[in-house]
Amino acid sequence: MTIALLAIGLFAGTLAALLGVGGGIVFVPALVVILGLSQHVAQGTSLAVIAPTALIATIVHHRGGRVSWPIAIPVSIGSAIGAYVGASFALELEGPVLERLFALVLAALSILMWVKAGKRDRPAPTAPESGPQ
């Protein structure tokens, strides 16, 4: 089991740093599907392991000049408050409801990102040329 846990951590940590995600999009499903943990335990465990992942990735991205601290600091404050509210709310939900909510949020965000990226793939419209042809 230790090898599986290390593999999940390596995979999720790599994706977290590569894509700028918290790792939970990989950790939580892997812990539920592969290891059979409950949704509640998977989410709590994921949050516990994200702290060192985020710290290391933040240091590397900061060294590369890729962190906007004027944005990161106030968002972090709001996020900390939201984390308390969200975790408290999650404790009140039944496991299957929480699992479906997690999947629904991932699916909705994935679709929105896919659509937004598709719009950026199209060439920008050009203005009609002025003057005589």
DSSP the chain: -HHHHHHHHHHHHHHHHHHT--SHHHHHHHHHHTT---HHHHHHHHHHHHHHHHHHHHHHHHHTT---HHHHHHHHHHHHHHHHHHHHHHHHS-HHHHHHHHHHHHHHHHHHHHHHHHHHHSPPPPPPPPS--
Answer whether 111's CB lies under 8 Å from 103's CB.
no
pTM over 0.85: no
| Greater model confidence, 105 or 133 | 105
Residue 133 covered by a domain? no
Look at residue 129 and tell me if it is in a domain: no
pLDDT category, 15, cuts 50, 70, 90?
A: confident
Residue 48 lies in a domain: yes
Domain count, the chain: 1
pLDDT digits (tens, 9 = 90+) for 27-86: 899 899 989 999 999 999 999 988 888 899 899 999 999 999 999 999 999 999 999 999
The parent domain of residue 62 ranges over 2-121
pLDDT at 51: 86
Residue 76 forms part of a structural domain = yes
Residue 87 located in a structural domain: yes
User: Does 131 map to a domain?
Assistant: no
Q: Is residue 85 part of a domain?
A: yes
Assign 119 a pLDDT band (cuts: 50, 70, 90): confident
State mean pLDDT over 98-108.
95
Is 57 inside a domain boundary?
yes
Tell me what the pLDDT averaged over the chain comes to. Answer: 87
pLDDT band at 125 (very low <50, low <70, confident <90, very high): low
